[in-house]
Amino acid sequence: MKILLYGSVLYCACYAVTGHAQAYPNKPIRLIVPYAAGGNGDILARVDAQMLAEGLGQQVVIDNRVGANGIIGTDLCAKAAPDGYTLLYAGNGHATNPALYDKLPYDSIKAFDAISLVASSPLVLAVTNSLPVKSVKELIALAKAQPHKLTFATAGAGSSCIAGHYRFDQRSNTSDVPELYFGAAAFEGSTRARARCHQRATFIIVTGHADSG
């Protein structure tokens, strides 16, 4: 059994114990995180890994395997021994990748057992302070006045951020230029540095900047 970890750490622990009786776990657990360090998924995974380690009395090792909208890390988990010692911290890409890619190196449904939902986070539209807009309405007006001129930063192809952006463009009848970065944390510095950029990101990534103004 390979475990697809969407969920509550305590729930995962109970689930694993039932499969391995009292002997589980008797060695460190590997938690594959298919996201870049410092991003939304990575932050949540590290919090949950600590709770899991405390609950089981066994070390939980984070293994960031980034790329291809989570496919690289997910494939690594799919090919691991089905012994409960390799967990996957999966996100929305696990559900959307089968529709985005013609062929995946694993079966998204049959290769994993889902545990539970661990968290949800809204997407936030954020702009740099140097961009001359103070509302969504003003941003739309600026984008329409300068078609294909504004850029937006996003965590990469296939992510919920870029999907949210294209949906926004569709509904607002605007068109911006994407700048793709290797994970959510990577585009934070670029967005702040480039006056022309705006971004779609999860709340946990941008809330610190919003709170500080």
pLDDT for 27-53, tens place per residue? 999 999 988 888 778 888 999 899 989
Q: Output 125 or 195, whichever has higher pLDDT.
A: 125
CATH 1.10.10.10 fits 3-114, yes or no: no
pLDDT tens figures, 146-181: 888 887 777 667 777 777 778 888 998 988 877 766
For residue 53, what pLDDT is reported?
93
CA distances from 101 to 71, 91, 114 (A): 10, 16, 21
For residue 76, what pLDDT band results from cuts at 50, 70 and 90?
Answer: very high
What DSSP string runs through 78-101?
A: HTS-SSSSEEEE--THHHHHHHH-
Indicate where the chain has its CATH 3.40.190.10 domain(s).
123-211
Indicate where the chain has its CATH 3.40.190.150 domain(s).
3-114
Instruction: Burial-class residue 126 by CB neighbours within 10 Å (0-12, 13-18, 19+).
Output: buried
CATH of range 123-211; options 3.20.20.80, 3.40.1080.10, 3.40.190.10, 3.30.300.30: 3.40.190.10
Of 132, 105, 101, the closest CA to residue 195 belongs to: 132
The type of residue at 174 is T
For residue 49, what pLDDT is reported?
92
Predicted structure pTM score: 0.71
pLDDT tens figures, 102-150: 999 999 888 888 777 777 777 778 777 778 888 889 989 988 998 888 8
